Structure 1
Amino acid sequence: MLNDIKKDAQTRMAKSVDALRHDLVKIRTGRASTALVDTIKVNYYGSDMPLSQVASVAIADARTLTITPWEKQMVAAVEKAILASDLGLTPNTAGTVIRLNLPALTEERRKELTKVVHGEGEDAKVAIRNIRRDANSQVKELLKEKKITEDDVSRAETEIQKITDGAIKDVDDVVKAKEQELMAV
């Protein structure tokens, strides 16, 4: 029973760290990344489709993304979707190829994005602490039902805290790596 609670907590904490990594990919650094356009939806014959399903997205160089729609008539719809997104980028079209040039980030913008990264990291830590609280309450519930002893509760809470500390360290590492990526010129 206790092992199941600990494994569940560890799995959920790992998912929180993975979710943080996934969220941080969307934050634009100075380098081009295809993940920047993953969230863009394009109107494709009346239904909204992810950009990756109507066009190929590639990295041309460190600061340029190229988007090539599979159908020529989709170029305008893809441009419209990019302009409507919150990326703040203007597409340059040459025939059927759309280029997105990523301007260099200013020092001020880098600091703003660092604050956003820290905020995302804090949210992940809060989620991890909530998972710890849930696991500890499950352990205490077992004590109330007299299925485990006080010593078992103490040991389980110590082990859950170790798991929590490891997950929070992972979050700190992910945030620090993203911060270094942002501040690199």
Structure 2
Amino acid sequence: MSEDFELDTNDLSRRMDGAMANLKTEFASLRTGRASSSMLEPVMVEAYGQMTPINQVGTVNVPEPRMVTINVWDKSMVNKVEKAIRESGLGINPQMNGTIIMLPIPELNEERRKELTKVAAQYAEHARVSIRNLRRDGMDQIKKAKADGLSEDDQKFWETEVQDLTDTYIKKVDQALETKQQEIMQV
């Protein structure tokens, strides 16, 4: 059995990529003072009896640097979309114009920028925890294989592989956080 053991590092890598993708989505939802359609991705609207992403009930556009518009397709959904945006915690005050909802993006003050960098740091820490949990999964597989007769040299080899993979992804998280914090603090 010990000779056949091979840890699926591609699977671990794919799952760590998932943690990075999740981090990027969370970062996209943080306002930096510039309008972006991705800032509305986490906002869900109660449409036709189920929770639906905003981009599935209307067209999201960015006509100018400080404005996002949503052209709601179904007139009966306009108030629900507006309510979802108000309750999303984005800190944006929607303005109605028929079936078009306009979202003026206010300038960020220094205090709000610092708050957002802390939120970004929390998101990054969640990603690091996810990556470390995946590392633990890999190490548990190695320990199980050791109990089944994996040699000590092979055990050390696979543990090093898992640790190197983990270190690489933690570094990616740190770089993404640094970039996002610079973007937030940029006036």
TM-score of the superposed pair, with normalisation by structure 1:
0.90
**In the alignment, is the contact (CA less than 8 A) between 1:5 and 1:138 conserved in 2?**
no
**In the alignment, is the contact (CA less than 8 A) between 2:7 and 2:141 conserved in 1?**
no
Letter of the 1:27 partner, please give it. Answer: L
Q: Deviations over 1:22-63 (max 9, x none)?
A: 111111111111122223333435544322122111001111
**In the alignment, is the contact (CA less than 8 A) between 1:38 and 1:50 conserved in 2?**
yes
Aligned to 1:89, the other structure's residue is in SS state coil
Determine the structure 1 residue equivalent to 2:81. Answer: 78
Determine the structure 2 residue equivalent to 1:183. Answer: 185
Aligned to 1:29, the other structure's residue is in SS state coil
Letter of the 1:178 partner, please give it. Answer: K
2:155 aligned with 1:153, yes or no? yes
Q: How does 1:10-29 map to 2 (within 5 A)?
A: 10-29=13-32
2:123 aligned with 1:116, yes or no? no
2:164 aligned with 1:165, yes or no? no
The Cα shift of 1:144 comes to 0.9
The Cα shift of 1:72 comes to 3.3
The Cα shift of 1:119 comes to 1.4
The Cα shift of 1:159 comes to 1.4
Unpaired segments ≥5 residues, structure 2:
none
Q: How does 1:125-136 map to 2 (within 5 A)?
A: 125-136=128-139
- CA–CA distance in structure 2, aligned partners of residues 45 and 69 of structure 1: 14
**Percent identity for Structure 1 against Structure 2:** 42
Q: How does 1:35-114 map to 2 (within 5 A)?
A: 35-114=38-117
Unpaired segments ≥5 residues, structure 1:
none
- CA–CA distance in structure 2, aligned partners of residues 41 and 9 of structure 1: 30
Superposed structure 1 runs of 4+ greater than 6 Å apart: none
Aligned to 1:42, the other structure's residue is in SS state strand
- CA–CA distance in structure 1, aligned partners of residues 79 and 18 of structure 2: 38
CA RMSD of aligned residues (A): 1.8
Letter of the 2:31 partner, please give it. Answer: R
Q: Deviations over 1:73-130 (max 9, x none)?
A: 4333322332232222111223332210010111111111101111111121121112
Letter of the 1:41 partner, please give it. Answer: M
TM-score of the superposed pair, with normalisation by structure 2:
0.89
